[in-house]
Amino acid sequence: MFERVNHQGIGDVSDESVAWEDQIIPFADDDEDENDGLLVEDAQSQAHLRQLVAQNEFLQTQLAQLVDETQLSAAQVAALTRHFTGSAAEAARREHEIDLVSRLETLQEQLDELTKSVTKLGRTQFKANTLTESREQQVGHSLTALQEIATRRDEVNETRQVAQQRRLAQLRKEARGDLAADLLPSLDGLDMALAHGQQMLAEQRRREEAARKEAMHRPPPAPSVWDKVRRVFIESEPEPAPVTPPPAAGEMSDALSAWLQGLNLVQTRFVTLLGKESVQSIDALHKPFDPRLHVAVGAQDHPDLPANTVVTVLRKGYTQGDRVLRYAEVMVSRSAARDDAQD
């Protein structure tokens, strides 16, 4: 019964040890760094790690069984030694002892092999754990890098969109400024028409006033025969009717005034439209000459003003923010000291 149990345990352990020694343990390539294969390799590593843990537990169980069998065999050897003390059974006892020693050596060799296998399995498990941690770190670094790249891409796209919107707004503003600059001569024509119209209206009113005064101081016409007859039969002579100016005397001034009001309304709307586009006229009259805003086309003597002071604006200038759409053409005061030097 002892031999049958020991042979069966030894056979099972030997076959199981050979089976584990013959197994090929796959390892993932450490140099593979593609992001798409990391998750698959991580799953394979986890499965392999679970397999190694199961193998380790099985080997620990087999090792415990071998230790128990070795102790049992030693006890049996001691019992047989005490039992076979007679000379007749000396040869059989020695042969059995040799067999037991051989079996013990075989068990010890198997135990050593199992110990090596367990050690190797522990190293393999440690390597697998290290590889798994390395894979997890690589996956984490890759995800972090991808998140940073996505964040930077979003920031770059947002910055690019803001820059494009600003550029588009600037281009629209410049285009409207160019259009306003093209319309400035029309505004100059309105200003000139208003100035001439006001002069014409003042002249017309002056003429009408002179005609009215002349009509009031003009002597009445000589009475006719009929008027004399009426005076004879009428005791009291009625007061002469007041002299009224001709009906068309004030129509011309009224027409000019209405025309000027229409022009003034058009000019106001024109200036309001330009103001919406940040177009403003340059206030140059009686201001120091500024070459960034003014263009001097001549000089005049004005002793009561400092030199290089704008005394006349020949053509208005306009700006759009910091951009000059048209420089103001002006006349400036001349320095008295310079005139004396020239004389």
State pLDDT tens for residues 71-92. Answer: 888 878 777 766 665 555 567 7
What mean pLDDT value characterizes the chain? 77
Q: What are phi and psi of 87, to 5 degrees?
A: -70, -25
Q: If you average pLDDT over residues 10-29, what whole number do you get?
A: 42
pLDDT value at 310 more than 90: yes
The reported pLDDT for the residue numbered 39 is 61
Q: Read off the pLDDT band of 25 (50, 70, 90).
A: very low
**pTM attached to this predicted model:** 0.45
Mean pLDDT of 158-166: 91
Residue 149's pLDDT band (cuts 50, 70, 90): very high
Residues with Cβ within 8 Å of residue 271, at least 6 apart in sequence: 187
Q: Is the pLDDT of residue 2 over 60?
A: no
Output the 3-class SS for the chain.
CHHHHHHHHHHHHHHHHHHHHHCCCCCCCCCCCCHHHHHHHHHHHHHHHHHHHHHHHHHHHHHHHHHHHHHHHHHHHHHHHHHCCCCCCHHHHHHHHHHHHHHHHHHHHHHHHHHHHHHHHHHHHHHHHHHHHHHHHHHHHHHHHHHHHHHHHHHHHHHHHHHHHHHHHHHHHHHHHHHHHHHHHHHHHHHHHHHHHHHHHHHHHHHHHHHHHHHHHCCCCCCCHHHHHHHHHCCCCCCCCCCCCCCCCCHHHHHHHHHHHHHHHHHHHHHHHHHHCCEEECCCCCCECCCCCEEEEEEEECCCCCCCEEEEEEECCEEECCEEEECEEEEEEECHHHHHHHC
Nearest residue to 48 via CA among 24, 16, 13: 24
pLDDT value of residue 54: 83
User: What percent of the chain lies above the pLDDT cut of 90?
Assistant: 14
Domain ranges of the chain: 2-161, 279-343
pLDDT of residue 14: 40
What does the pLDDT average to over 197-222? 79
pLDDT higher than 70, residue 9? no
Per CATH, the homologous superfamily of domain 279-343 is Head domain of nucleotide exchange factor GrpE (2.30.22.10)
> What's the rounded mean pLDDT across residues 261-290?
89
Indicate left, alpha or beta for 7 from its phi (over 0: left) and psi (-120 to 50: alpha).
alpha
Residue, of 227 and 341, whose pLDDT is higher: 227
